[in-house]
Structure 1
Amino acid sequence: MSSSSQLQPVLDRIDADFDNSLTRLFALLRIKSISADPAFAGDCKAAADHLAKDIASLGFATDVRPTAGHPAIVAKSNSKADGKAHDGGRSHVLFYGHYDVQPVDPLNLWHRPPFEPVVTDHADGRKIIVARGAEDDKGQLMTFVEACRAWKSVTGSLPIDVTILIEGEEEIGSKNFVPFLEANKEELAADFAMVCDTGMWDPNTPAITTSLRGLVYEEVKIKAASRDLHSGVFGGGARNPIRVLTYILGSLFEENGRITIPGFYDGVKDVPPDILAQWKKLNLTPERFLQPIGLSIPAGEKDRLLIEQITSRPTCDINGIVGGYTGEGSKTVIPAEASAKISFRLVEGQQPDKIRKAFRDYVTARLPGDCRAEFSDHSNAPAIALDWNMKPLAAAKRALTEEWGKETVLMGSGASIPIVADFKRTLGLDTVLVGFGLEDDNIHSPNEKYDLKSFHKGIRSWARILAALAEAPR
């Protein structure tokens, strides 16, 4: 029997069992798996054990694996785990999620205890789940687990082979996860990866994230005199590092918004015309995007759409600047040094190492006499872009459109998800990013929420995607 003919009973099962799905999610949300605080290490282990037990109940061969930090979960549903004989033509997907959550501070801004989940009403009438981790990422990963549960309940197996990989340190940079991937890369082999940690275009329009911007985060410190100087005595005669630094930083940008670093745009490609036409139809206006934060004028490249500025074009932002006296009152000094932190969001075609070198060369070439620069590298990750014609992407796109009744948007993300680059670099896997979060979900903030509709239709969406992948060419 084909997967498409089995799909409707699976969807019916999801609807009939939805209250139980919600109960299972709430049990996970009550676990205080805050990875950043060592005081909650036991809770992180409890979350891993809880999830592993639940997934194992679906017939997955499941292990909780130690890492140098919080444990990871590896669960396999394949021909051996199913107890069925499958031919080698089945697709095999590696699904990734994370059980760890952000700290809840400031606690006084929460409307109710953050680890006591509840379904309540949003101001606009939507039903929402409120709890820490409701969207990021417990609610998201459970949409996939519940879809697998429905398939196993109705048919006894999954339509494709699945390995579920769940980590416990995403919120603290996955610092122990890449070594885990490297140590287990043969076991984690698959055709491609899928991640449910992204969002929709709006509450009714599904989306697949097809690109993630990379990141280079630099700190530069300009030094001049051997000590802070009295500005009345040395003003006009001694170099002022703040003046030097701000001059160089100001010269990074042309009036039209382009970045002036030589070679910065080398390798940057335009969005394909058909995708750009789709983006234009979305009509992302400054009023919609900027007005809620008290702004009105896009600040990026003037010849680019706003949606391009925030998703598919590279950027440079000055994230912090320090120098001289910043306390109360006055202190007339020429500081001995001044520093700034600068981040570059990169797109496909840009190499982090080349951008870092180009920036440092740019600063060094503009240093006047008596000044020197010191640099620190805080972070870097390459950009990720999917092949627009990738078969799993096309199958997922069709499935989402069928479930939501609206054309699925293929969109870029201005943010970075380093694990996607790690999958490519370590496991050789491309990643399809499907998620059901919304921009008002307050992730990393008090009163985090997940729309009840996102959770319900997210489960149904994954059920459809599994069926579509089973019938798509490998």
Structure 2
Amino acid sequence: MTTQHLAAVLDEVDSTLDASLARLFDFIRIPSISTDPAYAGDCRRAADWLVGELTALGFDASARDTTGHPMVVAHGSEEGPHVLFYGHYDVQPVDPLELWTAPPFEPSLVPQPDGETHIRGRGASDDKGQLLTFIEACRAWKAVTGKLPIRVSMLFEGEEEAGSPSLAPFLEASAAELKADVMLVCDTDMWDRDTPAITTMWRGLVAEEFEVTAADRDLHSGMFGNAARNAAEVVGAIVGRLRDADGRVLVPGFYDGVRELPEAIKAQWSRLPFDEVKFLGDVGLSVPAGEKGRSVLEQIWARPSCEINGVSGGYTGAGFKTVIPAKASAKVSFRLVAGQDPIAIRDSFRAFVRSLVPSDCSVEFKSFGAAPAQVMPLEGDFLTKARQALTDEWNREAALAGTGGSIPILGEFKRRLGIDSLLVGFARFDNRVHSPNEKYDLSSFHKGIRSWVRILAAFAQ
């Protein structure tokens, strides 16, 4: 029955695109900025807007109060495989306002010279346009068949742009209700403007700051130079010991549990239209760093990294001051891959630093988070079906991509609900998310809806 109705549901998406777009415009007009308390009422209004739309579609939907902004939870009544779809209705602040070419909460269609049309407005891509592609796909199925082909639940939060402080407690309290077979997450990108992608791996994170103290005050370099320990020099020596000449991280045990990339994935990545020279050239570089003998994609997606995010100490103001710094610090982050234990890495890093601090100096540490990497099982039934559905819609082999970033909330879903996340989204790298003149391509919105229609049908088979 599902296959029989697929063409009619896709036709419904095409014929009602203007109405879908009007709903997106209404949604964007709500200035749901989560980080500014002045917009708390608008965040509530956005949550209520979603509840109204979902209730009208036959979902059991409600806005659940938290210590922050509301969670929107919706459940369908159908049988079959059960998916939990996640998105967020909050948006970033719009500053600097003067750089917008039109008011950020007055969405508009902007034709482009290449024939594309941009949907411009804050939240158009991140994440209102993205999450609405799924809701509109459900709407099309309901319009044609009166029901969805599988069981669907939805969870929309209003604090993603503020660090999701209410999410973990809410998941803990609602785990039994939210349990599903797979999590669907839309807040992600395509490979390029014509190639869909499923993000199957994302790196974990350990973020640390250490501060070395030498003398009890800054010292005159003429009076104490050579004789007194320089805290900035100590910090510089430590960060200089974190990698060897071939780019390998030297923290003991850092590579414990790290596995080589499967040959099938390596071959698939090699077929992707990716220009390593342009990738670095676009940021003014030309020589790959990191582990020698690894491709750029492998380095940023599938290998762990160590980066110095900032170093400070001594006099850094205008002019010159000849001091020997008593204190200096460095911020260091590690991006982790599957198999690495973030707590073990943090502890090993701290022991490594302590081993390099002179006996007459001291060191203190501050943690800014530790989260494991996540990997979607490549042989999973949901992934296989979603990939084929995307390939059918876009007439391009859907890429199985990684991301060099870390997505801590996905770890929360795995830890609290025990389910894997499938990341499918239709944003493009030039969508200017978090920046003035954010946009979402009209083709992304349209074909995104069609893609979810196909994925729901595929999951029903």
- Could you say whether these structures have the same fold, taking a TM-score greater than 0.5 normalized by the shorter chain as the test? yes
Displacement after TM superposition at 1:456 (Å): 0.4
Cα offset, 1:166, TM superposition: 0.3
Quote the residue 1:12 is aligned against: 11
Q: For 1:300 and 1:23, how far apart are their aligned partners in 2?
A: 47
* Counterparts of 2:273 and 2:195, CA distance in 1: 14
Identical counterparts, % of pairs:
57
Question: Which has the higher mean CA deviation after the structures are superposed, 104-113 or 307-316?
Answer: 104-113
> In the aligned structure 2, how far is the partner of 1:333 from the partner of 1:68?
48
> Do structure 1's residue 390 and structure 2's residue 380 form an aligned pair?
yes
Report Cα offsets for 1:335-394 as digits up to 9, x if no partner: 110011111111000111011011101100111121111000011211000110010000
Q: Does 2:104 align with 1:114?
A: yes
* Counterpart code for 2:7: Q
State the alpha-carbon separation in 2 of the partners of residues 10 and 95 from structure 1: 20
Q: Deviations over 1:419-457 (max 9, x none)?
A: 211111000011111011111111111111111111100
Of 287-296 and 163-172, deviating more is 287-296
Cα distance in 1, alignment partners of residues 316 and 326 from structure 2 = 14
Query: Residue 229 of structure 1 corresponds to which residue in structure 2?
Result: 219
The amino acid that maps onto 1:186 is A
**Is residue 170 of structure 1 aligned with residue 157 of structure 2?**
no
User: Any unmatched runs of 5+ in structure 1?
Assistant: 80-85
Match of 1:204 in 2: 194
| 1:365 maps to which of 355, 363, 369 | 355
371-380 vs 119-128, which deviates more? 119-128
SS of 1:222's equivalent in the other structure is: strand
Aligned residue among 295, 307, 315 for 2:297: 307
- Asked whether 1:461 is paired with 2:451, we answer yes
Question: Contact conserved, 1:286 with 1:297, CA < 8 A, in 2?
Answer: no
The equivalences for 1:112-191 within 5 A come to 112-122=102-112, 124-191=114-181
Q: C-alpha distance in 2, partners of 1:441/1:255?
A: 37
**Residue aligning to 2:34:** 35
Q: Which digits, 9 at most, give the CA deviation of each residue in 1:149-181, with x for residues without a partner?
A: 000111000000011100001111111111001
CA distance in structure 2 between the aligned counterparts of 1:298 and 1:124, rounded to whole angstroms: 33
Inter-partner Cα distance in structure 2 for 1:290 and 1:111: 30
What SS does structure 1 have at the residue aligned with 2:177? coil
Q: What displacement does 1:287 show?
A: 2.7
What do residues 207-226 of structure 1 show as CA deviations (whole Å, max 9, x unaligned)? Answer: 00000101111011011111
1:76 matched to which residue of 2?
Answer: 75
Q: Give the one of 232, 236, 246 matched to 1:246.
A: 236
- Structure 2 counterparts to residues 308-347 of structure 1, below 5 A: 308-347=298-337
Match for residue 193 of structure 1 among 156, 172, 183: 183
2:432 matched to 1:438? no
Paired with 1:217 and 1:124, the residues of 2 have a C-alpha distance of 42
Instruction: Tell me the residue number matched to 1:57.
Output: 56
Helix, strand or coil: the match of 2:271? helix
**CA–CA separation in structure 2 for the residues paired with 1:116 and 1:319:** 37
What residue in structure 2 maps to residue 97 of structure 1?
Answer: 87
CA contact (8 A) 1:77 1:161 kept: yes
CA distance in 1, matches of 2:213, 2:181: 51
Partner of 2:408: 418
Q: Check whether the contact 1:286–1:296 (CA below 8 A) recurs between aligned residues.
A: no
Q: Deviations over 1:249-283 (max 9, x none)?
A: 01111111111111111111112101100111114
Q: Give the TM-score normalised by the residue count of structure 1.
A: 0.96
Q: Secondary structure at the match of 2:176?
A: coil
Counterpart of 2:26 in structure 1: which amino acid?
A: A
Q: Which residue type is aligned with residue 109 of structure 2?
A: V
Distance between the aligned counterparts of 1:378 and 1:327, measured in 2?
Answer: 27
1:142 maps to a residue whose letter is L
Q: Does the Cα contact within 8 Å between 1:284 and 1:306 map onto a contact in 2?
A: no
1:429 counterpart residue number? 419
Cα deviation, residue 124, structure 1: 4.2
Distance 1:317 1:138 in 2: 33
Q: Distance in 2 between matches of 1:466 and 1:259?
A: 43
Q: Distance in 2 between matches of 1:250 and 1:321?
A: 12
- What secondary structure, in the 3-state scheme, does the structure 2 residue paired with 1:284 have? coil
SS, match of residue 317 in structure 1: strand
| Aligned position for 1:22 | 21
Aligned length: 461
Equivalent-residue separation in structure 2 for 1:256 and 1:413 (angstroms) = 23
Kept in 2, the 8 Å contact 1:120–1:129? The answer is yes
Paired AA for residue 283 in structure 2: I
Question: 1: distance between equivalents of 2:259 and 2:107?
Answer: 44
Question: Which amino acid is the alignment partner of residue 44 of structure 1?
Answer: C
TM-superposed deviation, 1:111? 1.8
Cα 1:34–1:123, aligned 2, differ >3 Å: closer, same or farther?
Answer: farther
* Cα distance between partner residues in 2 of 1:113 and 1:134: 13
Provide the residue aligned with 1:67 in structure 2: 66
TM-score w.r.t. the length of structure 2 is 0.98
Distance 2:113 2:158 in 1: 33
Three-state SS of the structure 2 residue aligned to 1:293 is: coil
Report deviation, 1:297: 2.1
The amino acid that maps onto 2:190 is M
Deviation for aligned residue 1:332 = 1.1
CA distance in 1, matches of 2:289, 2:92: 31
Equivalent-residue separation in structure 2 for 1:284 and 1:310 (angstroms): 13
Mark the runs of 5 or more structure 2 residues left unpaired by the alignment: none
Number of the residue aligned with 1:261: 251
Q: Distance in 1 between the 2:238 and 2:400 partners?
A: 37
Separation of aligned partners in 1, 2:283 and 2:49: 39
